[in-house]
Amino acid sequence: MSRKYNVAILGATGAVGTELLALLDERKFPLSKLKVLASERSAGKSIKFAGEDLIIEAVTESAFDDVDIVLASAGGSISKQWLPIAAKAGAVSIDNSSAFRMHPDVPLIVPEVNPEAAADHKGIIANPNCTTILMTVAVYPLHRVLPIKRIVAATYQSASGAGARAMEEVKIQAQAILNGEPAIPEILPYPLAFNLFPHNSPMTDNNYCEEEMKMVNETRKIFGDSDIRITATCVRVPVLRAHSEAINLEFDRPFSVDKAREILANAPGVKLVEDFQKNYFAMPIDASGKDDVLVGRIRQDISHPNGLELWLCGDQIRKGAALNAVQIAELVIAKSLI
C-alpha cells in the first residue's frame, strides 16, 4: 500500500486556496489527513472539500507537528512567519508567495522545467510568479534546443491575479458602467472594467514594477542562466481569469518556425493552439480551467533573423499558481524528497 500524507493548506479561502482544494480532490492526491489553517478570525468556520465540511483551524506553532506537506497561499508576511516553523517541524512547504523565491537556499520550481532543483530543498520550495510559470513552460523547450539570448515579454494579466475580490470588483464595475453609473475601484487602484492599466505592483528604482522584475529575476533563477537578457511590460486587463503573454525570443542563430512548432506541440504542459487561416489563436476563455499553457502564433520575427514570436494564454489560478504547487508536491513525493 502506497504511503499517504498529511497536508495543510494556508490560505484556503482565497482564489488560489479554493483551486488547491479542488486540485487535491481532482488529482487524487494521496491524502491521509487534510488540515485547513487560517487566522483566528476564520477559525471555526467550515470549508467544503470532496463533499465534506472541513473546520478551519487557527495557525499556531503546534499546527505543523503532524504535517508532511504545507501548501501556502496566504501572502508573503504569513509565509515568512510560519513556514520556517513548519520546516523545523519536519514539513515540506510549497509557498505561493514571493517571500522566498529569490532566497539562494530555496529552490524555485516549475516541474516541466527544473524538477531536479527540488532535491536541494531545506524544507521550503518556492512557487514562481504566475507570469513566470506560464512563460517558462512555453519557452524552456526551445531554450533546451538552442539557448535563448534575449526575451521581450508583454503580459495581459487578468483580474484573477489580484485575487477573488478583484474578480468580483470587475463584475460590479462592468454592471455599474452598463447602468450609467461610475465604476468605483476598491481592490485595484483604478477601474478595470472596460479599461486597462500598467500592472499595479510597486515601482522599483529602475522604473520597472515588481511584477516585471519578478519575470526577469525568477526566469534567470529557474533556467540557471544569469546572463539571459529579459525585459517585460506587464499590463492589467479586464479579463476575469487567465493571463496572456506576447513573447519575442532572440537566439544566436536562426530557429526554424517549423522546428519550434514541432517542439512545442510535444512539450509537457503545452498545447499548441493556432489556425493562421482562420486567424484563430488561444484566448483567455480557452485557457480558463485548463491545465496546459496554450501556445500559438509562432512566427519568424521579421525585424531580426534570429528572432521568433509567440503568443500564449494560461490559467493564472491553475497552472500559474495552484496546479504548479500541487505538481511540486507530487514531484517531492515521487522523488522521495520528503
- Cβ-based neighbours of 150, under 8 Å, separated by 6 or more: 228, 229, 230, 249, 250
Please give the Cα distance from 329 to 92 (Å, whole number).
9
119 annotated ligand-binding residue: no
16 annotated ligand-binding residue: yes
13 annotated ligand-binding residue: yes
Q: Which three cell numbers stand for residue 127?
A: 512557487
277 annotated ligand-binding residue: no
- In the set 121, 130, 199, 209, the catalytic residue is 130
Please give the Cα distance from 193 to 338 (Å, whole number).
45
Nearest Cα residue to 108 out of 293, 232, 72, 95: 95
CA 226 and chain centroid, separation = 21
316 annotated ligand-binding residue: yes
- In the set 121, 143, 199, 243, the catalytic residue is 243
State yes or no: is 243 an active-site residue. Answer: yes
101 annotated ligand-binding residue: yes
300 annotated ligand-binding residue: no
Q: Cβ(167)–Cβ(207) under 8 Å?
A: no
157 annotated ligand-binding residue: yes
DSSP string, 153-211: EEEEE-GGGG-HHHHHHHHHHHHHHHTT-----SSSSS--TT--EE--SPB-TTS-BHH
41 annotated ligand-binding residue: yes
- Cβ-based neighbours of 126, under 8 Å, separated by 6 or more: 94, 95, 99, 100, 101, 103, 106, 107, 108, 109
State yes or no: is 130 an active-site residue. Answer: yes
173 annotated ligand-binding residue: no
Residues of the binding site for substrate = 157, 210, 236
Which residues are identified as catalytic? 130, 243
Residues of the binding site for NADP(+) = 13-16, 41-42, 160-161, 316
Residues of the binding site for phosphate = 101
Residues of the binding site = 13-16, 41-42, 101, 157, 160-161, 210, 236, 316
